[in-house]
């Protein structure tokens, strides 16, 4: 407790000296993955995030369904903007999640290689362009899932586009650890993590079944993200939501969990604090909606995890225990009784 009080005094002293908020001063003392002090430029303020749940449509041949998905996304972008969100995050399949049997050359009764000529690419691209224009008009960052077309004969990526508040695609995350069906018949895997910043807060992206790979979440902790945006269509009812809580608590960062409305009754979209608690969730009635949260490391739900747990875990992994290990026969003898 004494060490904790001393640490708080150091943070307050810096805040008083520089004129920063407590949260900004706190960031100066957080360790980077290499153990160095974080650069002065990394002093993010609170950022308001909206996480969405939208209906999932699975036939990319259906022009009317693609257009309706686009309209629904833009309506929720307006709702998020009206609530002051700086960034809005959508689920996998927000425009369309092509069904393996719909796309299969051996379908509709058997799974086979996907025939991507069945996709209404011009309509999909037009809806994404309209979403980007809405992001510019509303001045809200938008993270939206879609299929990303590659040069034939390469299969597309399953992706998350990051669209800035200027309406520009600033980066894209491609799902790396795909399901067996996805990688065998449908998509080309991505190759790298992706981070981006909004108002000084750093975000990372994950997608699909990657909730089952804790090493990907740990990778983003090493990249010093403040929040991971995770989009999926499948939650095995509720299991993925529980895993997301575990990843948030284990890595002491925020996790935004975005799923389609079909899962609203068991695992609605929501935002998890760095201590693993849900802060806000969309309605469980399956309605298209957004949940809005301020990502503030100085808040009660985050301060202890960000200030103490995350730096200590980094210190522990860096070998802090080596100097405390002892040579003792009773330690070496695993059968020593009591």
76-104 pLDDT, tens per residue? 999 999 999 999 999 999 999 999 999 99
CB 112 within 8 A of CB 119: no
Residue-level pLDDT at 264: 83
Q: Label residue 1 by pLDDT band (50, 70, 90).
A: very low
Query: 41 pLDDT exceeds 60?
Result: no
Average pLDDT over the chain, rounded to an integer: 89
Q: Label residue 35 by pLDDT band (50, 70, 90).
A: very low
Residue-level pLDDT at 43: 44
pTM to 2 decimal places: 0.85
% of the chain surpassing 70 pLDDT: 86
Kind of pairing between the strands at 169-174 and 157-163: antiparallel
Measure Cα distances from 207 to 179, 200, 221, 295 in Å: 11, 23, 16, 21
Residue-level pLDDT at 138: 98
139-191 pLDDT, tens per residue? 999 999 999 999 999 999 999 999 999 999 999 999 999 999 999 999 999 99
CB 222 within 8 A of CB 244: no
**321, HSE (Cβ side, Cα atoms, 13 Å):** 7
CB 20 within 8 A of CB 298: no
228-254 pLDDT, tens per residue? 999 999 877 679 999 999 999 999 999
Distance CA 143, CA 34 (A): 29
Q: Which of 31-35, 236-240, 267-271, 295-299 has the lowest mean pLDDT?
A: 31-35
């Amino acid at each position: 407790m004494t060490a904790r009080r001393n640490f708080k005094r150091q943070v307050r002293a810096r805040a008083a000296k520089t004129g920063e908020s407590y949260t900004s001063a706190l960031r100066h003392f957080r360790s980077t993955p290499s153990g160095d002090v974080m650069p002065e430029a990394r002093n993010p303020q609170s950022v308001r995030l909206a996480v969405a749940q939208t209906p999932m449509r699975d036939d990319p041949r259906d022009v009317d369904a693609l257009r309706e998905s686009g309209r629904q996304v833009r309506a929720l972008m307006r709702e998020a903007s009206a609530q002051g969100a700086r960034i809005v995050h959508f689920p996998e399949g927000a425009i369309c999640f092509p069904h393996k049997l719909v796309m299969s050359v051996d379908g509709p009764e058997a799974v086979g290689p996907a025939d991507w000529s069945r996709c209404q690419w011009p309509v999909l691209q037009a809806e994404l362009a309209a979403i980007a224009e809405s992001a510019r008009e509303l001045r809200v960052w938008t993270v939206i899932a879609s299929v990303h077309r590659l040069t034939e004969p390469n299969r597309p990526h399953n992706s998350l586009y990051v669209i800035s508040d200027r309406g520009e695609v600033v980066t894209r995350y491609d799902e790396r650890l795909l399901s067996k069906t996805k990688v065998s018949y449908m998509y080309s895997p991505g190759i790298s993590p992706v981070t981006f910043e909004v108002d000084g807060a750093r975000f990372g992206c994950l997608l699909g079944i990657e909730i089952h790979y804790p090493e990907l979440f740990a990778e983003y902790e090493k990249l010093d993200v403040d929040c991971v945006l995770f989009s999926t269509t499948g939650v095995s009812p509720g299991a993925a939501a529980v895993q997301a809580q575990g990843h948030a608590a284990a890595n002491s960062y925020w996790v935004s969990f975005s799923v389609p409305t079909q899962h609203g009754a068991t695992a609605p979209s929501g935002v998890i604090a760095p201590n693993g608690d849900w802060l806000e969730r969309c309605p469980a009635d399956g309605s298209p909606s957004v949940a809005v949260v301020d990502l503030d490391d100085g808040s009660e739900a985050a301060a202890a995890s960000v200030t103490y747990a995350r730096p200590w875990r980094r210190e522990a992994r860096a070998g802090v225990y080596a100097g405390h290990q002892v040579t003792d026969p009773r330690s070496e003898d695993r059968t020593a009784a009591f």
